[in-house]
Amino acid sequence: MKSFKKNATFAAFAVLSSVPSDAATISYSSNVAGSDYAVGTNWNGGSIPGTTPGDGGLINANKSTTVSSVITTNPASLQIQNALGTATINVTTGGSLTTSSTNVGHNRTGTVADGIGVLNITGGTYSGGTVIVGNAGIAEGIINVSGAGTFNFGTMTVDRIAGTKGTINVTGSSASINGTSMTLNDNAFLNFTLGSAGVASISLSNAFTLNALANLSIDASLYAGGVGIIDLVTFATNTGTTWNSVAINNLDPAYAGVVKFDTDSMYLEISPIPEPSAFVLLGLSVMGFTATRRRR
């Protein structure tokens, strides 16, 4: 929990070279859940994306991979999910991966919304460039940031077009989340799960744009920090301060929570609820004051 605001700090990430016109998309082929991203034979063609400059990577439905080491051969782009089913990338302690663009929940055509892309950042660093969460069709994208994970991005759009769904989940106060700008559209969900002392804020060096149909949820089950202010998103500028729904769940009944905006942040303000006896004393004081005035 922070009792003061501080300027957002953007962690820079590598900018990849321009993509050649003959760039290919390399699909992840291993059927072993959570298998190693860095192993070339887990990819079609026998080498990881980026071995040929400009190539991108695709983690398709029902595939999952884990980044647990520093990847120095970085893809130009990553697509997570492009068909029915769930596709997952896990970034864990010791892992590092950089790309110039990331689509989480890239595209799912058809009539059943069962194509899901998931990016889990529980440790290490993922630098995603331009990030889209819920890109096209009826795809769903989910980004989970927790533990000591670091998530860097340029611009991030959550729920790019009608029909998709995008969710950002931030858990605990140890993660680092840094970007240039973030836009939450109609079917966007931003969820914070507080740790005992608060939660990691999303730190933007530029704009935070909020569509009035986006949704905010805060779970305070583990919070033990008492009265104070917890920054959720910090920014240089913002457009929109109205949510479709705001839910603050499981906060100690001794406290009340309200989400507010100021010039450089969106934050949760936690304040005490007066004891019932305080209301009784206040009522007696008012009654006494009224009786005194009447006697006069």
- pLDDT beyond 90 at 233: yes
- What confidence category does residue 8 fall into, taking pLDDT thresholds of 50, 70 and 90? very low
What is the DSSP-derived secondary structure letter of residue 71?
-
96: Cβ–Cβ under 8 A, 6 or more apart, which residues? 67, 69, 70, 71, 124, 125, 126, 127
Mean pLDDT computed over every residue of the chain: 85
**pLDDT for the residue numbered 29:** 96
What pLDDT digit, counting tens, does each position of 108-120 carry? 444 444 578 999 9
Question: What is the C-alpha separation between 125 and 150, in angstroms, rounded?
Answer: 5
219: Cβ–Cβ under 8 A, 6 or more apart, which residues? 191, 192, 193, 194, 249, 250
**pLDDT for the residue numbered 182:** 98
Q: Which position has the higher pLDDT, 69 or 23? A: 69
- pLDDT beyond 50 at 254: yes
- pLDDT beyond 80 at 56: yes
Question: What is the C-alpha separation between 230 and 195, in angstroms, rounded?
Answer: 11
Least confident of 4-8, 100-104, 179-183, 216-220: 4-8
- The answer to whether 124 touches 93, Cβ cutoff 8 Å, is yes
What pLDDT digit, counting tens, does each position of 136-158 carry? 666 789 999 999 999 999 999 99
Question: What is the C-alpha separation between 119 and 90, in angstroms, rounded?
Answer: 6
**Strand order through the sheet with 25-27:** 25-27, 56-59, 78-80, 101-104, 130-133, 155-158, 181-184, 207-210, 237-239
- What confidence category does residue 162 fall into, taking pLDDT thresholds of 50, 70 and 90? low
**pLDDT for the residue numbered 110:** 42
CB-based burial, 44-78: b 16+ in 10 Å, e otherwise: eeeebbbeeebbbbbbbbebbbbbbeebeebbbbb
